[in-house]
Every structure is written in structure tokens, then in C-alpha cells.
């Protein structure tokens, strides 16, 4: 990436990125790209992520960006987080929410038999946390007028993806919060959007049962192929920059065209092969 062109899109801007864990994380790539586009950033995650991830390395790569421990389902933590952000780098111009977690998926509980405490936790951590973050950023005067708020979503917010389970519900909530907050933020010229990203190999992504197949299917159904975390970060830079001043309340697909496709030739060919070849159907798990 160091040989890549940078455009100074975020020169003079400050931002906080919630959710980088390791190099595979979408949030990691966004933080790194934001820094390389000229932003001063702070990085936040839960305490466990600071122990098990390698966020210190990311901080070093981003000019010793402050690392702030914060559970995004806890108001007091978020309040303290924004106080710390203000004290360390000042009010920010952008906020990135790159957070997701489902205990029901981790434990592979069927959707028909979810643990409701975990379900509430999924909605809280993966959806409601965006509301908490926006609300507490405003209350702390921690986001400047003209700022940009971005969260990461997935197409399972709108369509059924069997194994995405309660995360689909959480993504619907997340996208709805974006729409509900949009007009309320407009008086500060702050915009808020989600990027709906392709399946991506990350800690959270690869924890989904059958993720490999979702990834392969996504790739076959996307004219441009699945988008990587790095490509997602590149697109994010335009949404965090002044180039997208009038874009708000949108769910922006970043998926190689997947969301607009009905059928693709590679997918039809594969289906044809599989339907005519029982051994192949066994091998790809269609008879499981
Ligand atoms: N990987 C994919 O296929 C994919 C596709 C579309 C959207 N997304 C979304 O992208 C975002 C980032 O996920 P990722 O795929 O980079 O995985 P990741 O595992 O790298 O990142 C998820 C992050 O959420 C953090 N987190 C969990 N609970 C938290 C809490 N209570 N408070 C604060 N942070 C918490 C984790 O520590 C982790 O850093 C998520 O919203 C995810 O749903 C991922």
C-alpha cells in the first residue's frame, strides 16, 4: 500500500475509528488509509481487543494514534472515550463505526432458537452502539460541524442470508438509525451513511458458519468480484472527505455490483455443472 497514490483527501481532518482489531479488519484498513490521506486519528476498541489484537502496531503505523478502550454498548465508556478523544486530539471531523458481534452466531444457535439475552447484545453492540456513539459525540461537542459519520453494513439487512442470523436484524437496525439520525444531524451539516460491504475475510466475517461459501457465492455473483477490506477503506475515504458533502442517509453498496445482479454466467454455469453431477454436489456440500 505504501507505493499507492494518496490524494491528501483528509488533510487537516481528525477522526476516530471504532473497531480495528488486526490487519484483516475493515476498521484497521480504514484507520490506516485515513492516516495516509492526511488525517490525525484516534483508535478505539474493547479492552479484550487491545490484548488479543495488535492495535498497538496500528497505532504506530498511524503516527502513534491514541488508543482508547471503550465498550460501545456502554454509555459511560463512550462518554469517557469522547472526553479522551477531545483531550488528546480535539474534536473530530469523522467517526467510523466498524463494530459487530453476535454470540448467537459464535455459538451457532439456530435462528429459531436464539438466546434472547445474546440477541439483545447483538442488537446493542452491532446496531444501537451507533446511536450511542453519535449521541455522546454530540453531547461532548466532540464532532465538528460538517463532519461525516460512517458505519459498516451488510446486505443481510435487507435480504435473507440464512447463517447471518441475528446479525441481519442488527444491520437493519443500524441502517434505520442512519436514516433516523440523518435529518437531525443535517442542522450541523453532519452526514451519516453506511457502506454495505462484500463478504470479507476478517475475524467477525469468518466466524459466520459457511462463510467460505458466502464468500465464493458473492464473488461469482459480482461482476467486479468481491471487494476487499483495503478497497472498502479506499471507498470510505471519499465518504469521510469533503468530496461527499451532500451524501447522507444512504446505504452505499460496495460489493462489485452484487446487489444489482439477478444472475451471472459463472453462477449459471456452476449451477448447471452441480445439478448434473451428483459427486460435485456432494463435494460442495449441497447434499449436506
Ligand atoms: N467481514 C465481512 O464479511 C463484513 C461484511 C460487511 C460488513 N461488515 C462489518 O464490518 C464491521 C467490521 O467488522 P470486520 O469484518 O472488520 O471484523 P473485525 O472482527 O475485524 O471487527 C469487529 C470489531 O468489533 C469490535 N467489537 C465487538 N464488540 C465490541 C464492543 N462491545 N465495543 C466496541 N467494539 C466491539 C471487535 O473487537 C472487533 O474489533 C462490522 O460492522 C461488520 O459487521 C463485515
Distance from C-alpha of 239 to C-alpha of 260, rounded to nearest angstrom? 21
253 lines ligand 1 (CB under 6 A): no
Domain residue spans of the chain: 14-261
Is-catalytic flag, 201? no
Report which ligand 1 atom has the smallest distance to the Cα of 229. Answer: 16
Report which ligand 1 atom has the smallest distance to the Cα of 20. Answer: 39
Count CB-CB contacts under 10 A for residue 27.
28
From the list 7, 35, 116, 154, the catalytic residue is 154
Distance from C-alpha of 80 to C-alpha of 26, rounded to nearest angstrom? 24
72 lines ligand 1 (CB under 6 A): yes
220 lines ligand 1 (CB under 6 A): no
Going residue by residue through the chain, which has 288 residues, state the pLDDT in tens, using 9 for 90 and above. Answer: 446 789 999 999 999 999 999 999 999 999 999 999 999 999 999 999 988 889 999 999 999 999 999 999 999 999 999 999 999 999 999 999 999 999 999 999 999 999 999 999 999 999 999 999 999 999 999 999 999 999 999 999 999 998 999 999 999 999 999 999 999 999 999 999 999 999 999 999 989 989 999 999 999 999 999 999 999 999 999 999 999 999 999 999 999 999 999 988 888 888 888 788 777 777 766 666
The CATH number fitting domain 14-261, selected from 3.40.50.720, 3.40.640.10, 3.90.105.10, 3.30.70.20: 3.40.50.720
Distance from C-alpha of 212 to C-alpha of 189, rounded to nearest angstrom? 41
Q: Are the C-beta atoms of 177 and 131 separated by less than 8 Å?
A: yes
Distance from C-alpha of 194 to C-alpha of 182, rounded to nearest angstrom? 11
From the list 35, 161, 164, 181, the catalytic residue is 164
68 lines ligand 1 (CB under 6 A): no
Q: What's residue 288's pLDDT?
A: 64
- Global pTM reads 0.95
62 lines ligand 1 (CB under 6 A): no
Report which ligand 1 atom has the smallest distance to the Cα of 208. Answer: 3
Report which ligand 1 atom has the smallest distance to the Cα of 154. Answer: 6
Per-residue HEC secondary structure of 67-118 comes to EEECCCCCHHHHHHHHHHHHHHCCCEEEEEECCCCCHHHHCCCCHHHCCHHH
Strands 251-254 and 191-197: parallel
Shortest-distance Cα residue to atom 12 of ligand 1: 98
Is-catalytic flag, 164? yes
Amino acid at each position: 500500500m505504501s507505493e499507492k497514490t494518496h490524494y491528501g483527501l483528509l488533510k487537516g481532518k481528525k477522526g476516530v475509528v471504532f473497531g480495528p482489531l488486526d490487519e484483516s479488519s475493515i476498521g484497521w484498513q480504514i484507520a490506516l488509509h485515513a492516516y495516509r490521506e492526511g488525517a490525525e486519528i484516534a483508535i478505539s476498541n474493547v479492552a479484550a481487543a487491545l490484548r488479543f489484537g495488535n492495535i498497538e502496531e496500528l497505532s504506530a503505523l498511524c503516527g502513534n494514534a491514541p488508543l482508547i478502550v471503550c465498550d460501545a454498548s456502554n454509555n459511560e465508556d463512550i462518554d469517557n472515550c469522547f472526553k479522551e478523544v477531545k483531550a488528546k486530539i480535539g474534536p473530530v471531523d469523522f467517526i467510523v463505526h466498524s463494530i459487530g458481534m453476535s454470540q448467537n452466531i459464535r455459538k451457532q444457535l439456530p435462528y429459531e432458537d436464539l438466546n434472547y439475552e445474546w440477541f439483545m447484545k447483538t442488537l446493542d453492540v452491532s446496531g444501537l452502539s451507533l446511536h450511542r456513539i453519535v449521541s455522546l459525540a454530540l453531547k461532548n461537542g466532540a464532532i465538528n460541524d460538517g463532519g461525516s459519520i460512517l458505519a459498516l453494513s451488510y446486505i443481510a439487512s435487507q435480504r435473507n442470508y440464512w447463517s447471518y442470523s441475528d446479525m441481519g436484524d442488527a444491520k437493519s437496525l443500524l441502517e434505520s438509525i442512519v436514516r433516523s439520525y440523518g435529518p437531525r444531524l443535517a442542522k450541523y451539516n453532519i452526514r451519516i451513511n453506511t457502506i454495505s460491504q462484500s463478504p470479507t475475510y476478517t475475524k467477525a466475517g469468518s466466524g459466520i458458519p459457511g462463510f467460505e461459501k458466502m464468500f465464493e457465492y458473492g464473488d461469482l455473483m459480482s461482476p467486479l468480484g468481491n471487494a476487499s477490506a483495503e478497497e472498502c477503506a479506499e471507498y470510505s475515504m471519499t465518504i469521510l472527505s469533503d468530496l461527499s458533502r451532500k451524501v447522507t442517509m444512504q446505504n452505499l453498496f460496495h460489493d462489485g455490483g452484487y446487489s444489482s445482479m439477478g444472475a451471472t454466467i459463472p453462477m449459471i454455469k456452476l449451477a448447471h455443472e452441480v445439478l448434473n453431477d451428483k459427486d460435485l454436489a456432494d463435494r460442495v456440500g449441497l447434499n449436506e
